[in-house]
Structure 1
């Protein structure tokens, strides 16, 4: 066996090592990878914290943050297709920086006009999930006290925290939670709760505009919130891309491994279309091998986290932008693999001004502008699961 073959073998073996402190969302990632690699019998556990994107300025109360907020400096005026974050990120003044604040009033006592985010703290040592909190557009964090939420469960008995990446509606007025045999929908503006019975091991919720999609192990349902009726959709619930709220059309999925990684389009009443993902204009030796977490659409682009090949190194962490029309990777943020947990950097959505929001470092929320290469902090020390209003 020559040296390159040995290097590839050791890299493959290292990819299946579990992180030392998995969070609750890691259970969800592990189940997805087991299915994707069923033929090889491999499973990977990701430490991933989930969510979607928004950017609205709020009035701040209380003392200023420990780190002075100031704009980031763009590392390039015309960024290359492959980019890397600077060693030290600047911090932006953003309302989402308050996402980890302690909860004040309960939601039942003080409903909101609109939520910017939902947050469920996770104990980093035990993996135990706390009560879901709501960050309102008034800058106040409330506790979601109107309904008890149980962990989701799969057919093998694995549990995960109830807050998912797609739980918050694009307008920030409604929250949805998959529950065992049940879908819970909370109107955040009046704190009312509605239950929709649905059989199955429900794990996913995704808003497609005002449509609510719910998924179990291998089936996606569209739930009619007026009647409670459901219909099956021919899309994989794990690979389903969150549509852009203002222009919901055909549903998209992004999934597969290496040479089978593909974008699939599911037109209503039409024949599905499949395009294999290519490296586009990336330099030779660079490619997107596999994706994880949830993909998020904006126009003709999908942003999603994944594992990459960068030059001679496999298994690196990255964030990619894929052109829906051609399935080519147009931009790749190369995050490397040193000091990063496997599956560290899930995409959270697009901000209103066109930046990609993603998890970075432990508990960090960052934003990346593919066109310029800017990367900056939005929030730090947010230890838990996050869902943002993607509108």
Structure 2
């Protein structure tokens, strides 16, 4: 197996770990809104993983394997003689799927030509830029955290400050933590940064280490025998430990005093069908809940594109806000083939715009105004070697800044 193939499998492993952004406003809404659809079984979350028992070198943690899972349809091409989304404007959908409006997103090669959109993030995030240690040059909060794991298992953690500068974090006190797959997820996980950007949370056996950026203070939050591999943030200052990556009934702990603060039962959005499976973060925002789906069968796509598709699913607070964005993957050329788990939802940019991180070179943050053909480039992430380093991103809540 080549290094490139190994990195693809490592990416799939991390992408399959879901994380909601249950910010204060979204959490208050979630407690009073019942799901309008039955929640999918947890197995749907892993249905997009390759079939059969796969043994791979697990990077920092060594070899690992996964058991057999359900076979999903292989990609095929369809023919719908309509141009892709980037040539369109307005709100008229390109098709429908079980009553949900479907919009066509860009091919990977078209993302670089999308218009630049304004955001609190810089248009170019250069991870090779000069840095200072956050202990010597503290910040109140970060916009993003980037964990980089090299081929030898070495790790480095960078923070993106609100002014666009970078900080490094000394993680020498963070012990490796195998989530059962052979991978060390103590630092390389997408629930690392709190919604406000004030805290970093590192899962450990029997506890969670929490770093307060403004003061440099570390706290250990005791979780007893509760596994911390499914660590999520609930609101601004509570850690939630559901039984699975797609939610469930689990305890919460306050990072302010380390005490148990209650329990809750929240599940990932059900989506329109079981024709595919969710992966990555599920992010709650003012309009609803967004999550990426892989191998989504049956969606209408533009001519000469692969199906089943990658898609963004937005389940709105009201049915009128439901929408799907198909992320185009052409049958040819190879440059426009998207890998599985290509485009995890990262954050809401504003009240009706979500942002996904496209696994392109360079890696890009791409925005979609839900229910429209309005797409844009938020940031390009450069300054690391994708052939040597595996990147895991974690973002603060952006939409209310």
- 2:368 corresponds to 1:368: yes
Aligned equivalents of 1:173, 1:187: Cα separation in 2 = 6
Q: TM-score, normalised by structure 2?
A: 0.64
1:93-172 maps to which residues of 2 (within 5 A)?
94=119, 95-96=121-122, 97-98=124-125, 100-123=127-150, 126=151, 128=153, 130-145=155-170, 148-155=173-180, 157-160=182-185, 162-172=187-197
Mapped pair 1:224 → 2:254: yes
Classify the secondary structure of the residue corresponding to 1:372: coil
Q: Give the unaligned 5+ runs of structure 1.
A: 1-17, 46-72, 236-250, 255-261, 263-276, 280-286
- The C-alpha deviation readout for 1:301-340, integer Å capped at 9, x for no partner, is 1111102222496431111211245598423233336521
1:41 Cα offset (Å) = 12
Q: Distance in 2 between matches of 1:151 and 1:335?
A: 37
**Is 1:83 equivalent to 2:104 in the alignment?**
yes
- The verdict on how the C-alpha distance between 1:27 and 1:361 changes in structure 2, with shifts beyond 3 A counting, is closer
Counterpart in the other structure of 2:392: 385
Q: 2:337 aligns with which of 339, 362, 366?
A: 339
Change (3 A) 1:143 1:31: closer
Q: Using the alignment, how far apart are the partners of 1:187 and 1:38 within structure 2?
A: 32
Structure 1 pair 294/38, CA: closer, same or farther in 2 (3 Å)? closer
Distance in 2, matches of 1:109 and 1:234, equals 38
**Helix, strand or coil: the match of 1:120?**
strand
Give the distance between the partners of 1:183 and 1:25, measured in 2 at CA: 23
2:356 matched to which residue of 1?
A: 358
Q: Is the 8 A contact 2:186 2:204 kept in 1?
A: no
Alignment match of 1:303 (pick from 284, 290, 300) = 290
1:25-36 correspondence runs (5 A): 25-29=11-15, 36=43
Check 1:194–1:225 CA distance in 2 against 1; reply closer, same or farther (3 A cut): same
Aligned mates of 2:87, 2:47 — CA distance in 1 = 43
8 Å Cα contact 1:90/1:377 also seen in 2: yes
Name 1:292's counterpart in structure 2. 279
Equivalent in the alignment of 1:190: 215
SS in 2 for 1:278: coil
Partners of 2:309 and 2:392 lie apart in 1 by 23
Partner Cα separation in structure 1 for residue 344 and residue 358 of structure 2: 8
Q: Kindly state the Cα deviation for residue 160 of structure 1 after the two structures are TM-superposed.
A: 3.1
208 and 340 in structure 1: CA distance in 2 versus 1, 3 angstrom threshold: same
1:173 is aligned to 2:198: yes
> More relative contact order in 1 or in 2 (CA 8 Å, sep 6+)?
2
2-side partners of 1:330 and 1:100: how far apart?
34
Q: Partners in 2 of 1:107 and 1:354 — Cα distance?
A: 33
Tell which deviates more after alignment, 223-232 or 289-298.
223-232
- SS of the residue corresponding to residue 12 of structure 2 reads helix
Residue 42 of structure 1 deviates from its aligned partner by 6.8
Residue 349 of structure 1 contacts residue 390 of structure 1 at CA under 8 Å; is this kept in 2? yes
Distance 2:347 2:163 in 1: 22
Count of matched residue positions in the alignment of Structure 1 and Structure 2: 302
Distance between the aligned counterparts of 1:161 and 1:229, measured in 2? 21
- 1:278 corresponding residue in structure 2: 272
Give 3-state SS (helix, strand or coil) of 1:105's partner.
strand
Rounded to whole Å, the distance in 2 between the matches of 1:210 and 1:40 is 31
* Cα distance change, pair 180–194 in 1 and its aligned pair in 2 (3 A): same
Give the corresponding residue for 2:231: 205
SS of 1:340 mapped into structure 2: coil
Residues 119 and 132, structure 1, Cα contact 8 Å, conserved in 2: yes
The residue number in structure 2 matching 1:69 is none
- Alpha-carbon deviations, 1:240-261, whole Å to 9, x = none? xxxxxxxxxxx4422xxxxxxx
Deviates more, 1:216-225 or 1:141-150: 216-225
Cα RMSD between the aligned structures?
A: 3.7
Q: What SS class does the counterpart of residue 27 from structure 1 fall into? A: helix
